Chains A and B, each alone.
Chain A
Amino acid sequence: AQTVTQSQPEMSVQEAETVTLSCTYDTSESDYYLFWYKQPPSRQMILVIRQEAYKQQNATENRFSVNFQKAAKSFSLKISDSQLGDAAMYFCAYRNYGGATNKLIFGTGTLLAVQP
Chain B
Amino acid sequence: EPEVTQTPSHQVTQMGQEVILRCVPISNHLYFYWYRQILGQKVEFLVSFYNNEISEKSEIFDDQFSVERPDGSNFTLKIRSTKLEDSAMYFCASRGLAGVRTDTQYFGPGTRLTVL
Contacts and interface: CB of A to CB of B under 8 A. Distances in A.
Q: Do A and B come from one complex?
A: yes
Interface of B: 31, 33, 35, 37, 41-45, 48, 50, 55-56, 58, 89, 91, 93, 95, 101, 103-110, 112
B43 A106 contact: yes
Interface string A34-55: 0101000011111100101000
B109 to A, nearest CB: 5
Contacts of A101: 56
Binding site secondary structure of chain B? strand
A91 B56 contact: no
Interface in A83-100: 91, 93, 95, 97, 100
Nearest to B95: A102
A108 B110 contact: no
Contacts of B91: 45
Contacts, number: 62
Contacts of B43: 45, 91, 93, 104, 106
A35 B91 CA distance: 17
Contact of A91 (B42, B106, B109, B110): B42
A44 B110 CA distance: 6
A33 B89 CA distance: 25
Contact of B42 (A44, A102, A103, A107): A107
Contacts of B42: 91, 106-109
Contact of B45 (A33, A52, A97, A103): A103
Contacts of A103: 33, 45, 48, 56, 58
